[in-house]
Structure 1
Amino acid sequence: MRPHRAHSPGLTGVLPLRESRHLLEVLRAKVGDRFTVFDVDREALAEVVELGPPVRYRILEERRPEREVGVEVALYPALLKGDKLAEVVRAATELGATRIQPLVTRHSVPKEMGEGKLKRLQAIAVEAAKQSGRLRVPEVLPPIPLNALPKVEQGMVAHVGARSLVREVLDLGKSLALAVGPEGGFAEEEVELLQEKGFTPVFLGQRILRAETAAIALLALCTAGEGR
């Protein structure tokens, strides 16, 4: 069996059914095959002991690699049309987000998200965590209205009219919340509301970015751009 990472909550010795089916039906796993399991802050080399499903395994060697950003990073992207949120969730997982929660805003075209789409986004987060070597799978939560956002310790909102750059306001030691508007951007009163909740408007350059690009760019500046 080729090298493989599987998300196994709690490292209990039993794989979830989705992961089990992938090992059995795609990778054709056999008893004795070795693979990597991970969850939250640890991973381990494991060996298949029973095919099931569910696949059962035993841990051979546990490891605690440092691959997480080090602080909580919440991303609040506005609801987007079509499949654009899938792109945001995949990249945000790779870049270290710990929570992703869409927002319903004035200019959002979709105003709700079905259960099926939410589950698909959650599955994308799992796959992106596996691919990128992360130990923690970010929460992907149902949308909330903008006014339901809590006050934050450190927040940034991408805004065309802003003057501050990310590097000028970012404190690497504090938890971080990032808000990005829909295709039409946040309304001015929405930006004011976000400021009341602890978000600083930041500038992402002279070019007009698509909403999904802006979300990824802002997160990348805060994590990958700082070597985290």
Structure 2
Amino acid sequence: MRMRHLLPAIRSILLLPGGLLPLPEGGALVGVELLPPLRPGAEAERGLPLENHAVRPGLAHAEAGGGSRRLGGGLFVADEPEGRAFVDPCPALRVPGAPDAVGDLLGIRRQRDGRGRLRPDRHHHRGRVGDHRLPPRARLTMQPHRFYLPALTFEEEAIALDGSPAHQIARVLRRRPGDPIVLFGGDGAEHHCRIATIEPGRVRLVRVAVTQPETELPVPVTVAMSLLKADRLAWAVQKLTELGVARLLLFRAERTVRQGEGRAQWERLRRIAIEAAEQSGRVRVPEVIGPLAFVEALAAARAAEAALLLHERADRRLTDALPAQASSIALLIGPEGGFAPPEVAAAAAAGAMPVRLGRTILRAETAAIAATAAVVLTIEGT
């Protein structure tokens, strides 16, 4: 059976409710390609031109094992403005019956072992049409990757990247000339670019547009929190950045459990904040400041119009204490054991209002994220 006769049937499977790989709006299935087998768990990502978009002679392979099935890989979706397609691997969504249906269309025989797992037909061989080994990660994407460059300077609408950004674009993402890339430098603007050339150790981009997306909160939020264990602190920095925090102040409280505070840790936290800003679509990266003494963090937080100290025994709830039209907000979150009584008294004397989140006692990183989310929802709702 010729592949061109299979395209309508494959497309109908992809567009099932909650489909396996739903086509983006405006996209069109224009071809299928046979991909070489990848080892299970391998990361792969391809940018594939559509200059010659004749139907390809096969479908990507299918991975069977561990009771899970994944499907995808060689499907093309046209990007209307650019006439290109991108295959960006990740775990595919599962639709009951869809993998088998695609396999039946292609004449791939599926068998199950004693534990109900799919196994390849013994007559098929690795790398040939009909071998049903799929890349374990597959997804279609039309979103360009974003990169933060603090010193972002264009010369005649062009810029040359080297070092880590160039390596990531050329070697990790395997982008090609003509592919889109978005750069931002913390000034509130997004610079939409196209890859002009890829050379050893260097990628040249041409800027095609500049936008000013409204991704930052209209009211700046500062979170001052106690130092935590490295992994929990890193997780908190990542999530607080995604929520839109403008500044992160990390301090030592009386009950803080001392952790390593070397330069490498701070560089890692700042790198996590940059990556979270890139991923979440922000155009500014929050400052990560520390380590500070509690009195230093309190003074910095008190500069905000509304300073709130989270305390499990406070009388007022956080949402009730938030002013309706504050120009800036600061949250103070203590360590696992909470703030010591002298610290609570010092904060109250400085004008910070003790507030509580709910009926239960939360871990420090949970309290920071929950409180920030509540503040963000209040800001967005006003």
**TM-score normalized by structure 1?**
0.92
Residue-by-residue CA offset, 1:19-68 (whole Å, 9 max, x unaligned): 22221221112332211112321112111234353433221011111111
Alpha-carbon distance, 1:86 to partner: 0.6
Instruction: Give the counterpart of 1:169 among 321, 326, 330.
Output: 321
Change in Cα spacing, 1:19 to 1:196, as seen in structure 2 (3 Å) is farther
Query: Percent of counterpart pairs with the same letter?
Result: 37
Is 1:213 the counterpart of 2:366? The answer is: yes
Mean alpha-carbon deviation: is it higher for 108-117 or for 136-145? 108-117
Alpha-carbon distance, 1:101 to partner: 1.6
Partner of 1:128: 276
Partner of 1:204: 357
Instruction: Give the counterpart of 2:203 among 45, 55, 68.
Output: 55
Mean alpha-carbon deviation: is it higher for 106-115 or for 183-192? 106-115
Contact 1:156 1:201 (8 Å CA) reproduced: yes
Q: Secondary structure at the match of 1:92?
A: helix
Change in Cα spacing, 1:200 to 1:130, as seen in structure 2 (3 Å) is same
Show structure 1 runs of 5+ residues with no match: none
For the pair shown, the structure with the greater C-alpha radius of gyration is 2
Is 1:67 the counterpart of 2:215? The answer is: yes
Aligned equivalents of 2:173, 2:290: Cα separation in 1: 32
Aligned equivalents of 2:236, 2:340: Cα separation in 1: 21
Partner of 2:146: 5
- Structure (1/2) with the larger helix percentage: 1
Instruction: Give the counterpart of 2:231 among 69, 83, 92.
Output: 83
Residue-by-residue CA offset, 1:197-225 (whole Å, 9 max, x unaligned): 33211111111111110011111111135
Aligned equivalents of 2:256, 2:204: Cα separation in 1: 44
User: Which structure would you say has the larger RCO, counting Cα contacts within 8 Å and 6 or more residues apart?
Assistant: 1
Partner of 2:189: 42
Query: Number of aligned pairs?
Result: 228
Q: Secondary structure at the match of 2:353?
A: strand
Contact 1:11 1:38 (8 Å CA) reproduced: yes
**TM-score normalized by structure 2?**
0.56
Q: CA RMSD in A?
A: 1.9
Aligned equivalents of 2:311, 2:294: Cα separation in 1: 15
Change in Cα spacing, 1:60 to 1:100, as seen in structure 2 (3 Å) is same
Name the amino acid aligned to 1:5: R
Contact 1:113 1:143 (8 Å CA) reproduced: yes
Aligned equivalents of 2:173, 2:197: Cα separation in 1: 15
Show structure 2 runs of 5+ residues with no match: 1-46, 48-85, 87-143, 154-158
Alpha-carbon distance, 1:124 to partner: 0.7
Contact 1:104 1:111 (8 Å CA) reproduced: no
